[in-house]
Chains A and B, each alone.
Chain A
Amino acid sequence: MSADPEVLRRLARESGRLLGELGVRPEDSAWIRQHAETIESLTRREPRPGLFARLRRLLLRVARKSR
């Protein structure tokens, strides 16, 4: 069983917003990459091509908005 993509997107949106609240900025690209990897790791048993890049872009978008 693997995580629902919509659940992962919601997790990325919410946690991205919280990271922004905590002071993380879009230019903290290494941290955003690490966080995207953490979320992606929930699907490790069934990797999905392109998911990591999509999560990273989503996190960057959310972090930009929550500045």
Chain B
Amino acid sequence: MKPPRVLVAAVQSPFSGGGAERHVRRLTEELVKRGVEADLVTLPLIERERFDLVRSALAWRSLDLTEIGSRTVDAVIATRFPSYAVRHPNKVVWVIHQYRQAYDQFGTPWSDFTSSEEDRRTRETIAAIDALGLSEARRVFANSKTVAARLAKHNGIASEPLYHPPPLVGRYRTGPFGDYALTVGRLDGWKRPDLPLRALAHAPMARLVVVGRGPEEHRLQRLAHDLGVEARVRWIPEAADEDLIDLYAGARLVVVAPQGEDFGYVPLEAFLSGKPVLTTDDAGGPLEFVVDGQTGFVVPPRPEALGAALSHAWNREDALAALGRRGFDRASGLSWDETIGRLMTAAGLSLP
């Protein structure tokens, strides 16, 4: 019997591969590992002008992936906007990203959509593209409950949350509690990377390691200086996998401060390293894993609240270890076996 042929459809961000790009590569690899003849199909999402968004959707819509090389493609697993506009009679969508600037981020500093006629029509068209691409799918999954709730709220589309393990699963390790809190992620405004820095001003014993780079990098370094905390901050713009594993293993705890994150690998990476997570009550996806007093600390998104939590936790290693252990148990339950199994079942296919 021939192995099932599956294509993963994904959007590429040339020159700035992030978590989503890594995720779809891993998904394809995990399918291949299980004997599926899988491959990744990507197109870039260009955002120079509004019509580019429609053009990108048109590019996907122009692709009919039913058959390639005289052989039938059994299923397509589409992921980010607008890859799910692709045509295939057996399409399963695993929504990793909608175009959030048109939805929940509209009207916030994180969206550049205005009330102009063109922007209004672009938002309507994005919603039409989502409605078309998702309604014709055999099954719609979301990568978290947070994303599923957004799909229901903004598009009236029902979806099932489908989690997956973080990128370096199997390689994270626990280690002794070090003398720093760790924050990992792109230094973008909506990820609120300033919040952990501002928290330091309220937690005089705490030190912070910031892993990541992005447009806010220089502003944050100036902020650390202005807050008088720069001597307690270490900046690591890029960390190789092994270095990142070491940083997690040696952290005291991990701080996750974005607003409305879709899913977020960082809490899972922290848990698999035996570390609790300090996050905020508006963090979105991380709150599906971080439970206050069980696997970490959940506080209002204010520097003094984060600072107080850091101060409270800093010298309580036993409590941190207990929270970290429960986090480890929670994150250990996620496996690619289950994720791939559910995707294949949804596509009506069996693993060889």
Contacts and interface: CB of A to CB of B under 8 A. Distances in A.
Given A15-B62, A28-B121, A23 B51 contact: no
Contacts of B85: 22
A34 interface: yes
B61 A18 contact: yes
Interface in A1-35: 14-15, 18-19, 21-24, 28, 30-31, 34-35
A27 B121 CA distance: 10
B349 interface: no
A32 to B, nearest CB: 10
Given A15-B58, A18-B61, A30 B118 contact: yes
A31 B50 CA distance: 9
A16 to B, nearest CB: 10
**Chain B contact residues, majority secondary structure:** helix
A18 B58 contact: yes
Interface stretch (B1-9, B69-77, B124-132, B288-296): B124-132
B57 interface: yes
Contact of A31 (B54, B62, B124, B129): B54
Interface of A is mostly: helix
A38 B59 CA distance: 12
A31 B51 contact: yes
A4 B341 CA distance: 47
Nearest to A28: B121
Tier of interface size on chain A:
10 to 19
Interface string B47-61: 000010011011001
Interface residues of B, number: 16
B48 to A, nearest CB: 12
A58 to B, nearest CB: 16
A38 B128 CA distance: 22
B62 A18 contact: yes
Nearest to B49: A34
Contacts of B61: 18, 21-22
Nearest to B52: A34
B57 A22 contact: yes
Contacts of B128: 22-23
A24 B125 contact: yes
Contact of B129 (A14, A23, A34, A38): A23
A31 B125 CA distance: 12
Nearest to A33: B51
Interface string B126-164: 011100100000000000000000000000000000000
Contact of A19 (B54, B118, B124): B54
A35 B61 CA distance: 15
Contact of A22 (B118, B121, B132): B132
A18 B85 CA distance: 10
Contacts of B132: 21-23
A38 B55 CA distance: 10
Given A15-B62, A18-B61, A35-B58, 20 more contacts: A14-B62, A15-B58, A19-B54, A19-B58, A21-B61, A21-B132, A22-B54, A22-B57, A22-B58, A22-B85, A22-B125, A22-B128, A22-B129, A22-B132, A23-B128, A23-B129, A23-B132, A28-B125, A30-B118, A35-B55
Interface of B: 51, 54-55, 57-58, 61-62, 85, 118, 121, 124-125, 127-129, 132
Top 5 A-B pairs, shortest CB-CB distance = A23-B128, A23-B125, A18-B61, A31-B51, A34-B51
11 contacts: A15-B62, A18-B58, A18-B62, A21-B61, A21-B132, A22-B54, A22-B129, A22-B132, A31-B54, A34-B51, A35-B58
